[in-house]
Amino acid sequence: MSEMYKVVSIDNAVLYEEYHWSVDRILKEINRDTSDSWTDYDQSDWKDGWLEWCEGDYYTIPSLKQKGDE
């Protein structure tokens, strides 16, 4: 079974919602709506991709943000 991460919706239009996403689901979010020249993030660098492109927009992964703040 793949590791699951708690993902929290921070979209103002949605009340607090908590999800449990696999790394594959997180990668889908990171790599969605990208251009043809985009190089997809993968299992080796998904944390960097999340923190660069997704964290704080519509979702947050509290465990990554805490580690990134250290």
pLDDT value of position 2 = 74
φ and ψ at 46, to 5 degrees? Answer: -60, -35
* Ramachandran sector of residue 33 (left: φ over 0; alpha: ψ -120 to 50; beta: rest): left
From first to last of the 70 residues of the chain, give the pLDDT tens digit: 579 999 999 987 767 899 999 999 999 999 999 999 999 999 999 999 999 999 999 999 999 976 545 4
d(CA 15, CA 63): 20
Task: Give the Cβ contact number of residue 7 at 10 Å.
Answer: 23
Tokens of 22: 């696999």
What one-character DSSP code corresponds to residue 38?
P
